């Protein structure tokens, strides 16, 4: 057995054991089985990745089982390993293993732990099936499998109505994307007579310039196929229009947000475009659409992120925005940079989410940053980890040197490639730079609101409950005196505690990733020569010319990300540390803009009005007016009225001796038929 099979199927096995064992198995064994399986998978994945980085590994496909064939259609369960898969393997297994470990601490008080860990492992399995797919159908299996796990985990606290609503929303909105993906697979099969990814990619250039009939019109074949598949990518990766589920998905436990809604699942769309990049290369229109959608998402999410007050929602919009960067990188042809950003983003965004979880843990489930403040000294490890993550996401680094945090290498490479590509890339570059300013602002805003300033904890109901409960238990005798004593300093007498070791270890490990991932791996991912060599062992269409060109962009292009990063930091510093009255003044002055951003551009309201409500109204109309008011009224009921008017039949039917009547009918019928046969 090859190690890839262990990597993929151990998490499934663990999920089954923990899920079916559940309460009978007990919390600790379930956690050991799942976490252990993930660490083994992770340990097996890194050597594979490093062998591709070192440049001495070839793509391979390990067959597992026959799956589905019909006519010339053929799909098998098989595990493809190449450089692109290897990148995803380490991202998925590393983050997943760390999130499993982190959840030991975070979910410690949860009564339903085996179920949670089983879902996490199930998710990992599905994600691994997605990234090892060698045909589109298996990719779709993984695609829907991660959707299922995401649904289950968002709705993990299923008693909360908001959680189960968010879970449904995530699944259904993703299904809209899946509609595109499925039609894309149908079309691909129609055109290429295969759904094997290598075969499609080999044949794709030959189809450039051909046309196909679709929905009654004729289009460029490759444009239709790529755009259909891209609709799927938009759903999974929460691109503008199909993004509405992602912020709501924050209803799930925070480790879930880190694993699924930041590091892995939401990047599946980017992975898909990179995996099929030779196909996208054949359609300029499709590439332009990818670029513009990515850039628009990047801008949209960044603007909304500046106004949110829920710590997890800020990070969620940040994720959405960063995914936009990855897409427009892919759209301009810089797939290496897109994958590199996916890789670094996985580390620093998982870090930010897990850090936020640690803050929430310390603040007794309070998620509103308005009630944070001054946590720097209370939870120092979390503070430093979050700072490392923020330095990485804002892209701190000195252009032209090797000093820089992970996001510096990947984001700057994206922006430079976009500029170098020209055309829509120029627009994307400008939007990307502006979004980088916003990124820096909202990221530092988060840090300043959480860790600096004066404590504002007293305003939080969660904290009030916690303090009250603690008094109820411990300080019964002299609580009246105690209550009076505090309350003036904004702490409400609450003492946040740093998280336990099993939560801090993942934070530290991810911090190392956020600091070092860029320095260590930029050679393999985005260097013109190194990248060409690395990506050769994959399906990714690495564009050496573009990467060369991106190194030769003017100096102002190279320095502009740095400049906007510093500007964003300065504005955040001024507004949230020096002049804390500024934000209130700003919102009062520009309240229309502020409301527009706070309400997320009113997408939810719009969709409710044009999709959700009409669906229910039309359903009711069809049911009452269509089925009951028309079909039944003139059909069977009308007939029945005639029969009743006619006489005794219905009374006979109700006599209770139906079967004698029915039997007579059967015999009569049979007799009539046989008589007819013998006559002819």
Partner 1 sequence: MNELGFPILSLMMAVPMAGALLCLFASAPQARQVALVATLADLVLGLLLWLNFDQSAGHAQWQFQEYAPIFGRFAWAMGIDGIALTLIALTVFLMPICILASWDSIEKRVGEYMAAFLFMETLMIGVFAAQDLFLFYIFFEAGLIPMYLIIGIWGGVNRIYASYKFFLYTLLGSVLMLIAMLWMAREAGSTDIPTLMAYSFDPKVQTWLWLAFFASFAVKMPMWPVHTWLPDAHVQAPTAGSVILAGVLLKMGGYGFIRFSLPMFPEASAQFAWLVFGLSMVAVVYTSLVALVQSDMKKLIAYSSVAHMAIVTVGLFAFNQAGIEGAMMVMLGHGLVSGALFLCVGVIYDRLHTREIDRYGGLSINMPKYALLFMLFTMASVGLPGTSNFVGEFLALMGVYQASSWVALVATTGIILGAAYMLYLYRRICFGDQKNADAAAMPDLSPRELVMLVPIGLSVLWMGVYPESFLAPMRADVQAIVARMAPAAPEGDAKLTAGKPHAAPAEHENHEATNEHGGPETAAEAH
Site for partner 1 in 2-31 (CB under 8 A): 22
Q: Rounded to an integer, what distance in angstroms lies between the CA atom of residue 435 and that of residue 441?
A: 10
Residues 287 and 147 sit within 8 Å (Cβ to Cβ): no
Q: Pick the binder of partner 1 from 32, 51, 214, 381 (CB under 8 A).
A: 214
What part of residues 577-616 is at the interface with partner 1 (CB under 8 A)?
615-616
* Other beta carbons within 10 Å of 524: 23
Residues 359 and 379 sit within 8 Å (Cβ to Cβ): yes
Residues 6+ apart with CB under 8 A from 406: 344, 347, 348, 392, 513, 514, 515, 516, 517, 518
Query: What mask, x for binding partner 1 by CB under 8 A, covers residues 513 to 532?
Result: --------------------
- Kindly report the three-state secondary structure assignment for every residue of 468-533: HHHHHHCCCCCHHHHHHHCCCCCCCCCCCCCCCHHHHHHHHHHHHHHHHHHHHHHHHHCCHHHHHH
653 makes contact with partner 1 (CB under 8 A): yes
Q: Pick the binder of partner 1 from 186, 403, 582, 590 (CB under 8 A).
A: 186
Considering the complex, what minimum distance in angstroms separates the CB of residue 430 from partner 1?
29
Tell me the three state secondary structure of residue 654: coil
CB of 498 or CB of 544, closer to partner 1: 544
Considering the complex, what minimum distance in angstroms separates the CB of residue 172 from partner 1?
5
What part of residues 218-247 is at the interface with partner 1 (CB under 8 A)?
218, 221
- CA-wise closest residue to 210 among 230, 192, 193: 192
191 makes contact with partner 1 (CB under 8 A): yes
Considering the complex, what minimum distance in angstroms separates the CB of residue 297 from partner 1?
21
Residues 248 and 312 sit within 8 Å (Cβ to Cβ): no
State the sign of the Cα–Cα–Cα–Cα dihedral 476, 480, 482, 487.
positive
65 makes contact with partner 1 (CB under 8 A): yes
- Kindly report the three-state secondary structure assignment for every residue of 190-240: HHHCCCEHHHHHHHHHHHCCCEEEECCEEEEHHHHHHHHHHHHHHHHCCCC
- CA-wise closest residue to 546 among 355, 325, 261, 335: 335
Considering the complex, what minimum distance in angstroms separates the CB of residue 678 from partner 1?
4
What part of residues 613-632 is at the interface with partner 1 (CB under 8 A)?
615-616, 618-620, 622-623, 626-627, 631-632
State the sign of the Cα–Cα–Cα–Cα dihedral 367, 369, 370, 371.
positive
Q: Pick the binder of partner 1 from 3, 6, 61, 189 (CB under 8 A).
A: 189
In the block, residue with structure tokens 């309240």? 591
CB of 180 or CB of 424, closer to partner 1: 180
SS3 content of the chain, % helix, strand, coil (to 5): 75, 5, 20
CB of 61 or CB of 176, closer to partner 1: 176
Tell me the three state secondary structure of residue 24: helix
Q: Pick the binder of partner 1 from 400, 488, 497, 678 (CB under 8 A).
A: 678
CB of 203 or CB of 519, closer to partner 1: 203
CB of 260 or CB of 298, closer to partner 1: 260
CB of 574 or CB of 610, closer to partner 1: 610
Considering the complex, what minimum distance in angstroms separates the CB of residue 676 from partner 1?
5
State the sign of the Cα–Cα–Cα–Cα dihedral 377, 378, 381, 387.
negative
CB of 148 or CB of 470, closer to partner 1: 148
Q: Which residues pair with 80 in a beta bridge?
A: 61
CB of 213 or CB of 472, closer to partner 1: 213
646 makes contact with partner 1 (CB under 8 A): no
Considering the complex, what minimum distance in angstroms separates the CB of residue 187 from partner 1?
7
Joined together, the tokens standing for residue 449 give 């609101």
CB of 209 or CB of 380, closer to partner 1: 209
CB of 477 or CB of 677, closer to partner 1: 677
Considering the complex, what minimum distance in angstroms separates the CB of residue 456 from partner 1?
32
What part of residues 68-87 is at the interface with partner 1 (CB under 8 A)?
68-71, 73, 77
CB of 174 or CB of 303, closer to partner 1: 174
487 makes contact with partner 1 (CB under 8 A): no
CB of 6 or CB of 203, closer to partner 1: 203
Considering the complex, what minimum distance in angstroms separates the CB of residue 218 from partner 1?
8
Considering the complex, what minimum distance in angstroms separates the CB of residue 144 from partner 1?
5
Residue 453 burial by CB count (10 A; 0-12/13-18/19+): exposed, middle or buried?
A: middle
Q: Would you mind telling me the total number of residues written for the chain in this entry?
A: 680
Residues 6+ apart with CB under 8 A from 545: none
Cβ burial 116-147 (10 Å sphere, 16+ → b, else e):
bbbbbbbbbbbbbbbbbbbbbbbbbbbbbbbb
665 makes contact with partner 1 (CB under 8 A): yes
Q: Rounded to an integer, what distance in angstroms lies between the CA atom of residue 409 and that of residue 337?
A: 9
645 makes contact with partner 1 (CB under 8 A): no
What part of residues 90-149 is at the interface with partner 1 (CB under 8 A)?
137, 140-141, 143-145, 148
Number of chain residues interacting with partner 1 (CB under 8 A): 88
* Other beta carbons within 10 Å of 110: 14
What part of residues 143-182 is at the interface with partner 1 (CB under 8 A)?
143-145, 148, 151, 155, 158-159, 161, 164-165, 167-168, 171-172, 175-176, 178-179, 182
Considering the complex, what minimum distance in angstroms separates the CB of residue 538 from partner 1?
19
Considering the complex, what minimum distance in angstroms separates the CB of residue 71 from partner 1?
4
CA 346 to chain centre: 11
Q: Pick the binder of partner 1 from 485, 640, 652, 668 (CB under 8 A).
A: 640
End-to-end CA separation in angstroms for the chain:
69
545 makes contact with partner 1 (CB under 8 A): no
Q: Rounded to an integer, what distance in angstroms lies between the CA atom of residue 133 and that of residue 529?
A: 27
């Amino acid at each position: 057995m090859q190690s890839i099979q262990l990597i993929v199927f151990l998490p499934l096995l663990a999920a089954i054991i923990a899920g079916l064992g559940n309460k009978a198995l007990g919390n600790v064994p379930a956690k050991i089985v799942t976490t252990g399986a993930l660490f083994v998978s992770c340990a097996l994945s890194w050597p594979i990745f490093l062998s591709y980085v070192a440049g001495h590994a070839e793509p391979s496909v390990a067959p597992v089982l026959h799956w589905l064939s019909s006519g010339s259609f053929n799909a098998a369960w098989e595990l493809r390993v190449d450089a692109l898969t290897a990148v995803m393997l380490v991202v998925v297994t590393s983050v997943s293993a760390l999130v499993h470990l982190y959840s030991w601490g975070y979910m410690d008080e949860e009564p339903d732990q085996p179920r949670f860990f089983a879902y996490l492992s199930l998710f990992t399995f599905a994600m691994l099936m997605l990234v090892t797919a060698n045909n589109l159908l298996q990719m779709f299996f993984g695609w829907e499998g991660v959707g299922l796990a995401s649904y289950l985990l968002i709705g993990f606290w299923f008693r909360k109505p908001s959680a189960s609503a968010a879970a449904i929303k995530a699944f259904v909105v993703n299904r809209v994307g899946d509609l595109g993906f499925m039609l894309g697979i149908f079309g691909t099969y129609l055109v290429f007579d295969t759904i094997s990814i290598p075969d499609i990619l080999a044949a794709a250039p030959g189809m450039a310039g051909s046309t196909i009939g679709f929905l009654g019109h004729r289009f460029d074949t490759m444009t239709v196929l790529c755009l259909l598949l891209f609709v799927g990518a938009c759903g999974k990766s929460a691109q503008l229009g199909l993004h509405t589920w992602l912020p709501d998905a924050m209803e799930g436990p925070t480790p879930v947000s880190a694993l699924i809604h930041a590091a892995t699942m939401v990047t599946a769309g980017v992975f898909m475009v990179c995996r099929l990049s030779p196909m996208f290369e054949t359609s300029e229109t499709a590439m332009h659409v990818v670029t513009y959608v990515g850039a628009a998402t990047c801008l949209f999410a960044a603007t909304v992120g500046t106004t949110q007050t829920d710590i997890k929602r800020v990070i969620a919009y940040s994720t959405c925005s960063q995914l936009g960067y990855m897409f427009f990188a892919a759209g301009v042809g810089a797939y290496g940079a897109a994958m590199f950003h996916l890789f670094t983003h996985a580390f620093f965004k998982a870090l930010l989410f897990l850090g936020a979880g640690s803050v929430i843990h310390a603040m007794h489930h309070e998620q509103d940053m308005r009630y944070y403040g001054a946590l720097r000294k209370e939870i120092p490890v979390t503070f430093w980890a979050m700072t490392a993550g923020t330095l990485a996401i804002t892209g701190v680094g000195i252009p032209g040197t090797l000093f820089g945090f992970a996001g510096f290498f990947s984001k700057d490479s994206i922006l430079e490639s976009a500029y170098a590509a020209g055309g829509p890339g120029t627009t994307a570059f400008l939007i990307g730079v502006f979004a980088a300013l916003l990124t820096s602002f909202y990221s530092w805003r988060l840090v300043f609101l959480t860790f600096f300033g004066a404590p504002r904890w007293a305003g939080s109901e969660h904290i009030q409950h916690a303090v009250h409960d603690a008094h109820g238990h411990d300080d019964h005798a002299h609580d009246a005196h105690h209550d009076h004593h505090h309350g003036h300093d904004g702490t409400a007498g609450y003492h946040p505690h740093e998280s336990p070791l099993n939560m801090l270890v993942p934070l530290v490990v991810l911090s190392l990733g956020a600091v070092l991932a860029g320095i260590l791996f930029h050679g393999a991912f985005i260097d013109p020569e190194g990248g060409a060599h690395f990506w050769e062992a994959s399906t990714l269409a690495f564009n050496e010319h573009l990467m060369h060109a991106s190194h030769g962009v003017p100096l102002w292009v190279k320095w502009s990300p740095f400049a906007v990063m510093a500007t964003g930091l300065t504005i955040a510093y001024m507004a949230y540390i020096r002049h804390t009255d500024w934000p209130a003044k700003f919102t009062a002055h520009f309240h229309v803009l502020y409301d527009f951003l706070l309400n997320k551009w009113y997408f939810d309201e719009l969709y409710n009005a044009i999709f959700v409500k009409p669906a229910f109204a039309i359903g009711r109309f069809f049911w009452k007016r269509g089925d009951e008011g028309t079909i039944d009224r003139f059909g069977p009921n009308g007939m029945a009225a005639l029969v009743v008017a006619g006489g005794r039949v219905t009374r006979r039917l109700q006599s209770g001796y139906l079967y004698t009547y029915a039997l007579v009918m059967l015999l009569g019928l049979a007799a009539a038929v046989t008589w007819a046969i013998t006559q002819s």
